[in-house]
């Protein structure tokens, strides 16, 4: 998506709820698009679209905006309330696994996954919020590393299948995207994909690999995606329904 500029952030009021909002102008967008994430609402509008048209869309989609903003904020609250104690469960490759917290004398935090549970060893002198922060930091780092390893293997496989080549691949903490592809062939993937089932991760990888040939969402692009995943629409629907749940809660 080619960006021209971004207007300053502001807030919209829906049913007494103040929702952060920003408007981004795109040279390629054909229609006004609404994107909701943990930071609020982002509006992507075509260059020629008027602000009055944006206002009209915001009014017509007010119920959708209100519902999804509350949904994202409730997820954030659940994340904030996690205690990171033994017995809690976290997602990994589509399944939930129990945590077992072990206190030891070493300063470093270690994570071991045996296929049945996550064993996290943390310094016994850390307590309260300091201990929780250390455990969460270690989990995020472990997830990011596993995401890189898993995605790299599947990415190279689908590139071999398609005959397409990428320039570089990175795993990032992206707020509103599962993956992206640049004109230079650089691919980015969201580390949170490691919490999704393998077939969902494959869909995102295939999606970005196909962008190496078609840097758009044309019919040719989707036909190419369907060549490697005929039921890709099921994956799109799964992400739409369950994507917000791929978080440390």
Cβ neighbours around 131 below 10 Å, total:
20
- How far does CA 99 lie from the centroid of its chain? 23
Q: What is the pLDDT of residue 5?
A: 38
Task: For residue 109, give the nearest of 143, 82, 144, 134 by alpha carbon.
Answer: 134
Tell me the C-alpha distance between 209 and 194, whole Å.
18
Tell me the C-alpha distance between 187 and 169, whole Å.
5
Task: Average the pLDDT over 77-104 and give the result.
Answer: 83
The SS3 of residue 198 is helix
Asked whether the beta carbons of 50 and 41 are under 8 A apart, the reply is no
Residue 206, token pair as written in the block: 């295939």
Task: Average the pLDDT over 183-196 and give the result.
Answer: 94
Q: What is the pLDDT of residue 81?
A: 63
Is 187 exposed, middle or buried, given 0-12, 13-18 or 19+ CB atoms closer than 10 A? buried
Tell me the C-alpha distance between 5 and 25, whole Å.
6
Q: Is the pLDDT of residue 173 over 90?
A: no
Beta bridge partner(s), residue 22: 42
Task: Average the pLDDT over 54-73 and give the result.
Answer: 86
Q: What is the pLDDT of residue 9?
A: 66
- Verdict on whether the full-model pTM lies above 0.95: no
Task: Average the pLDDT over 162-189 and give the result.
Answer: 91
Q: What is the pLDDT of residue 119?
A: 94
Task: Average the pLDDT over 171-175 and give the result.
Answer: 84
The SS3 of residue 6 is strand
76-80, 169-173, 196-200, 232-236: segment of lowest average pLDDT: 76-80
8: pLDDT confidence band, cut at 50, 70 and 90? low
Beta bridge partner(s), residue 67: none
- Kindly list the domain boundaries of the chain, sorted by start residue: 3-81, 89-135, 146-245
The CATH class, in words, for 146-245 is: alpha beta
Task: Average the pLDDT over 53-61 and give the result.
Answer: 90
Q: Is the pLDDT of residue 211 over 50?
A: yes
Which position has the token pair 């739409």?
240
Q: Is the pLDDT of residue 200 over 60?
A: yes
Task: Average the pLDDT over 48-75 and give the result.
Answer: 84
Tell me: the pLDDT tens digits for 18-43? 888 888 888 888 889 898 876 788 88
Q: What is the pLDDT of residue 1?
A: 30
Q: What angle do CA 196, 198, 199 make, to 5 degrees?
A: 105
Task: For residue 146, give the nearest of 175, 113, 98, 187 by alpha carbon.
Answer: 113
Q: What is the pLDDT of residue 176?
A: 73
Quote the mean pLDDT of the chain: 87
Identity of the highest mean pLDDT range in 49-58, 84-93, 162-171: 162-171
Tell me the C-alpha distance between 101 and 95, whole Å.
19
Tell me: the pLDDT tens digits for 149-165? 999 999 999 999 999 99
């Amino acid at each position: 998506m080619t960006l021209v500029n971004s207007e300053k952030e502001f807030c919209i009021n829906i049913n007494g709820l103040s929702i952060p909002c920003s408007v981004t102008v795109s040279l390629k967008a054909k229609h006004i698009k609404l994107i909701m994430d943990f930071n609020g609402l982002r509006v992507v509008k075509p260059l020629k679209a008027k602000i009055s048209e944006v206002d009209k869309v915001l009014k017509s989609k007010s119920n959708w905006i209100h519902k999804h903003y509350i949904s994202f904020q409730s997820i954030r609250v659940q994340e904030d309330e996690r205690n990171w104690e033994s017995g809690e469960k976290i997602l990994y490759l589509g399944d939930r696994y129990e945590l077992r917290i072990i206190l030891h004398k070493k300063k470093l935090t270690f994570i071991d996954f045996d296929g049945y549970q996550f064993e996290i060893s943390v310094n016994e002198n850390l307590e309260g919020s300091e201990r929780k922060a250390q455990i969460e930091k270690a989990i995020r780092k472990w997830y990011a590393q596993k995401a890189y390893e898993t995605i790299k293997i599947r990415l190279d496989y689908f590139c071999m299948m398609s005959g397409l080549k990428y320039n570089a691949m990175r795993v990032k903490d992206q707020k509103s995207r599962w993956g992206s592809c640049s004109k230079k062939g650089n691919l980015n993937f969201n580390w949170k994909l490691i919490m999704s089932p393998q077939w969902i991760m494959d869909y995102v990888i295939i999606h970005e690999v196909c962008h190496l040939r078609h840097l758009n969402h044309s019919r040719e692009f989707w036909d190419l995606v369907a060549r490697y995943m005929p039921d890709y629409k099921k994956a799109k629907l799964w992400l739409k329904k369950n994507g917000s749940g791929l978080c440390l809660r």
